[in-house]
Amino acid sequence: MIIGYARVSSSDQSLSRQIKDLEEYGCEKIFTEKQSGKNFVDRKIYQKMREKLRFGDILVVHDLSRFGRNKQEIKDEWELLIKDEIDIVVLNMPILDTTKYKELEGVGQLLTDLTLSLLSWMVEEERTRIRTAQRQGIEIAKKQGKYKGRKRKYHVGATGRDKLIYDEIINGLTKGVSVMDIHRKTGVARSTIYEIKKDIN
């Protein structure tokens, strides 16, 4: 069976281009997911698809980054799929198509290993470049007085569950409960509780 997997990392991104390419390849079933690639445990749709993959199936993805955020994650997942005798096709890199090398196992494996190592390194380098650019942008914004920081979740104007937790923190601080005990009770990071404590003081 030919199975496609499409993923974007946030809910406001579109899956349409990936789905179109997977359909044109001939995927009989396509799993879609809007979830960060931070780790495979949190990617429930991917895990569901993984459980359905069987010997002889073909897994088709648009690009290598669907398998992870860094070189090691990509390599580990690739090797697990190959071990389970599942073929892999990466649409934007035709050389990464294990269905082509059935008769040339040695040559095909060599080409795949070399290309996979290079491209997984490129994926990792791109993520590093983006993070560096983000940090530099924040530093520039701070110097210009434009950086406001991440929007605080627990504050006096919060609503719903966030407001209840904020009130719980305030109540604890007012009664002299330690930051650690409030952290344990609410699950809120100690740094956030210290910020709130600083505000009310």
Alpha-carbon gap, residue 122 to 12, rounded angstroms: 25
Assess contact for 42 and 24: CB atoms under 8 A: no
The CA–CA distances, whole Å, from 24 to 20, 28, 30 equal 6, 10, 12
Assess contact for 70 and 98: CB atoms under 8 A: no
* 14 annotated active-site: no
Please report, as a single letter, which amino acid is at residue 95.
I
Alpha-carbon gap, residue 60 to 93, rounded angstroms: 11
Catalytic residue among 9, 36, 117, 178: 9
Alpha-carbon gap, residue 24 to 89, rounded angstroms: 13
Alpha-carbon gap, residue 43 to 18, rounded angstroms: 17
Catalytic residues, which ones?
A: 9
